[in-house]
Structure formats: structure tokens, C-alpha cells
Structure 1
């Protein structure tokens, strides 16, 4: 195999002026430029640089894609794959960068009259194996990069979807929307505890109006959050328990062991009462104030 790849290196070097334009043209026909994420100059530059690195690896006698001789070429493929994953390229669009190189190389082998049919077939097979391995490596890096992007986006979405709101001095509200799983519970807990520390809150209202259903696992996550808040010195109230959720919890035998209210308004009222506050209408407040005035004050 080493001798075969060395012969391919010579062919690539002597036929680069024919291989490169044909390769770039095939990538353009495959739609690499249609999305507008990469320019034609960038595509040409990437293709030319990779072809040089590939030829260098072949010239050093690399046996296969795992050979250190192809290290620089694989590093460039990794950079391209990660970049395209961030830019929103599809796996097929990314893999085309490597697999579309087969045809120009095969055409170069077929045009070489110095090769016998057997030699041409042997070199073609060697090129196929090498590019397939490099193509698979490209897809592996691309897939890993996409997964990292998805995980980061999920983390960011979870943080954005679990805001801790200050309702009053010493009173916080944590509205939950969607399913409460283990990962999200951790984000919820971290956000709530940090806000409790920052604001020195006494009470935290956890509103589950936007939670579609509460099963045993969800209840456990809620209890963990409540327990963590209590350790930080803040009491918790759960609001937003709808009739359907209440029935489900009773049916499952789930006990939250925490004060719960049907609405956020009811929970806020309890929180205000616990902190020695109350909200009353202006007219009523004026009447109460008038009743508390002394006769001397009323006569003035």
C-alpha cells in the first residue's frame, strides 16, 4: 500500500492544475455554495490547501488515514468539520468535501497511459480506501461538534426558561414551563439558590402552572429544589397546581409536604402575610386610616 500511495502522490503533484478545478466544480454542483455560508474563494482555498496536505502525506509514505503522515490533513479536516457544524451545514454537505475528490483522482489515473489496467485498478482501490477513511473521520468530527452545539443550546435554553423573578423584598418567584427532568432541575436549583443568596430572600414561590403533568419523578425534583432552598434559609410555596395535576398526584400517592396554592396570586398573598405585609385597595386603606385618626385629628 505504501508504494501505491507514493505513486498517487506523484500523480497528484503533476496533475494538480487539472484535479483542483474539477474538484471545486463538483463541490459547487453538489450545492456547497448555495446556502451562502461559504464563498467560492474560501472553497477554492480550502480545497487547494487540503490537496497540498494530502499530497504531502502521500509523499511521506503514509499507509492509511491513521498514519501520522496524514496528521496535518486530518487536523484541517477537523477544523473544517467543526466550522461547518457551527455554520449549519448538513452532514452530506460536509462529507462532499472529501468524497467529491474521488472522481478527479480516478480521472487522473485513467488518463495516465503509463499505467497498466492492473496498476490503475490497484491505485484506484488504494485511493478509495484512503478517502473513505478520511471521509468517515470528517463525519465523526462533524457529528461530535453538532452534539456539542446541541448540548450547549439546550443548556442555554434551560437557563433562559427558568428565570427567577423578584416579586417583593424577600419574595422570589420561579415560574417553570415544560418538563422538569434531572438536568433542568440542576439548572433550576443553581439559579434559585444563587438568587436567594444575592437577594437574601425569605420565601421562594415555585409556580408549576406551565408544567404539563406532575408524576413521581417530577415531584422528586420539586422536593429536591425545595429542600435545597430551605438549607439556604428560604421557605418554599408551590403554586399552579391544577385540578388534573392534583388528581394525578393523589392517584400516584405523591406528597409534596410543602404549602401549595392553586394560583400564583394566592401564593403571593401567603408570602406577604408571612413577611408581615398585606396588599389592600386604596379606598379601603383610606377608610382604615380615617378610622385610626383621633378625634382631635379629625377636627383639624
Structure 2
């Protein structure tokens, strides 16, 4: 049967909707290897199919047109969901391409030239939509990686309350501009929340100190000072001390200590608290 507007394919995909979606789900499920249920795929694909139907007959060469906004939106959401669920971009795009194979098999050996041209346009449209899912997936993965990196920075830069009025930031690993910003923000927030007057930046776990790392430390120390807190840098091991001298790095009047214990002792003395060994200890 030929539609009044001459688009036979549009009639086929509309009248054979249930058959096509059922086969589409089976075809996609094979590539996903049971990672999603048939019911979930059926619900997802019917949503895609509903917004795809009005576009059948277009070849996808103008995928940025306003008429494609809804289908792009639906596929983009599907891609983001798949990205956060651990799927690969190929698995996501393959779900779209599977529909092409299903429709081609349904049409079979129909030799009508007009129908063949419509199939070519349909194939082009699905190729373009498959690329939409791939590109959206890639962006979603970048967003996830960025979020995870930010969360990791948060976890690796804790601000610890050592004593009433004394905070410490134990640093481990490397110190770059991004991490320095996180350290500075967390330390300043904690100073405001606690009203602490002493801040200790401990670099015992920092792998190496060069000019750039030293500049990052100084920025953080000066920022703490501006908030009214005396800042001490601890964890200056012999190797780091030699490197600092060799590089000609100046910490100015910022107090430095060899260990976190020394820095805490210094801060407590400034608070008027003297630490003494208990009787009988150390004998």
C-alpha cells in the first residue's frame, strides 16, 4: 500500500510499530548481553520510536533543524543514563543502529524504487542520530570524570581540627593549581566556621617541592593570614629543605616546622598551652 503523501516507509513503520519495537528490543538486547532487561529496553525504545515516527522520510542531513530537537533530547537523555550506568559509547550507538537492521529486514526484497530511496534516507537519519548518542555520551563521560576528580580532591584535602582553635590540612601526593584552590577554599571555610586562629599546612606526604608547589603553599598561607589565622607549614623533611635552599625559595616570615607534632606544639604555645611529658613517661 502506498501512502497518500507517497511515503510508503512512513506507513510501514507506523502500522508495524509493535512488531518493529519487539524485534528492535531483541536485536539490541543481544549487543547489551543482558545488562538491561527487555522491559526496560521496550519502555526506552517506545519513547524514542514515538518521537522518531514523524521524522521518517527525512534523511538526517539537517539534524540541527528545530524539528529534530525532541528526538535529540530523548537520545541525549538515554546516552547520559547509559554513560552513568557504565555502558560503552558503542553499546549506546548500536542500540540506535539496530533499528535500521530491523526495518531493512522487515521490508525484505521489496523492489520498489521509491521505497528503496526512502530506506536510504531512513538509514542516513539513523546514522546521524547514532552520532548524536555517541557525542552526548562522550560529553557525559567527561562530566562524570570531572565530577569524580572534584570529589577525589575533596576527599584528599581534609581539614582536621587538632585542638580548640587549631586546624590542620595534611597534604598527600602532588600539589597543583586546581588542588591548591580546593585546599584554600576548604581551609578558609573552616576558619570562618570554627573561628580558629591557627592553621597548619602539613606537607609530610607531598612527594616533592619545587618553585610552583612553593608558590601554591605561600598563596594558601597568605590567604589564611588574611582571615586572621597564623599559618605554619610543617613536614619540612631534610630533602625538601635542601631543595628549597637550592631553588632559593623564600617563605618570608611564615613559620615552618619539621613535623606536624612540632607545628602543633608551636600553635599550642601561642595559645598559652604548654605540653609536658607525664610523670614516669620516657624513663
The two structures have a TM-score, normalised by structure 1, of: 0.84
Separation in structure 1 between the aligned mates of residue 58 and residue 100 of structure 2, nearest angstrom: 20
Q: Where do 5+ consecutive residues of structure 1 fail to align?
A: 286-300
Superposed CA offset, 1:12-38 (max 9, x none): 11333432222211111102533xxx3
Residue 144 of structure 1: which of 139, 143, 157 is its match? 139
Distance 1:200 1:52, change over 3 A: closer
Distance 1:191 1:270, change over 3 A: same
Distance 1:59 1:130, change over 3 A: closer
Instruction: Give the structure 1 partner of residue 169 of structure 2.
Output: 174
Question: Mapping of 1:155-174 within 5 angstroms?
Answer: 155-174=150-169
- 2:261 paired with 1:265: yes
Instruction: Give the structure 1 partner of residue 23 of structure 2.
Output: 22
Aligned residues: 277
- 2:277 paired with 1:281: yes
Question: Are 2:209 and 2:244, in contact at CA under 8 Å, matched by a contact in 1?
Answer: yes
Find the residue that maps to 2:279 and give its secondary structure: helix
Find the residue that maps to 1:276 and give its secondary structure: coil
Separation in structure 2 between the aligned mates of residue 201 and residue 281 of structure 1, nearest angstrom: 26
Instruction: Give the structure 1 partner of residue 66 of structure 2.
Output: 68
Question: Are 2:9 and 2:115, in contact at CA under 8 Å, matched by a contact in 1?
Answer: no
Instruction: Give the structure 1 partner of residue 79 of structure 2.
Output: 81
Instruction: Give the structure 2 partner of residue 46 of structure 1.
Output: 44
Distance 1:204 1:159, change over 3 A: same
Q: What RMSD over aligned residues (CA atoms) do the two structures have, in Å?
A: 2.5
Superposed CA offset, 1:186-205 (max 9, x none): 11111111111222212111
Q: How big is the shift at 1:66? A: 2.5
Q: How big is the shift at 1:91? A: 1.2
Superposed CA offset, 1:87-130 (max 9, x none): 222211211221222211222343435x13xx455333312221
Instruction: Give the structure 1 partner of residue 208 of structure 2.
Output: 213
Instruction: Give the structure 1 partner of residue 118 of structure 2.
Output: 123
Separation in structure 1 between the aligned mates of residue 208 and residue 85 of structure 2, nearest angstrom: 37
Q: How big is the shift at 1:234? A: 0.7
The two structures have a TM-score, normalised by structure 2, of: 0.88
Distance 1:62 1:179, change over 3 A: closer
Separation in structure 2 between the aligned mates of residue 158 and residue 226 of structure 1, nearest angstrom: 19
Distance 1:11 1:52, change over 3 A: same
Instruction: Give the structure 2 partner of residue 197 of structure 1.
Output: 192
Q: How big is the shift at 1:47? A: 1.3
Instruction: Give the structure 1 partner of residue 98 of structure 2.
Output: 100
Bigger mean CA offset, 183-192 vs 237-246 = 237-246
Instruction: Give the structure 2 partner of residue 185 of structure 1.
Output: 180
Residue 226 of structure 2: which of 231, 239, 243 is its match? 231
Distance 1:251 1:127, change over 3 A: farther
Separation in structure 2 between the aligned mates of residue 255 and residue 69 of structure 1, nearest angstrom: 63
Q: Where do 5+ consecutive residues of structure 2 fail to align?
A: none
Separation in structure 1 between the aligned mates of residue 84 and residue 200 of structure 2, nearest angstrom: 38
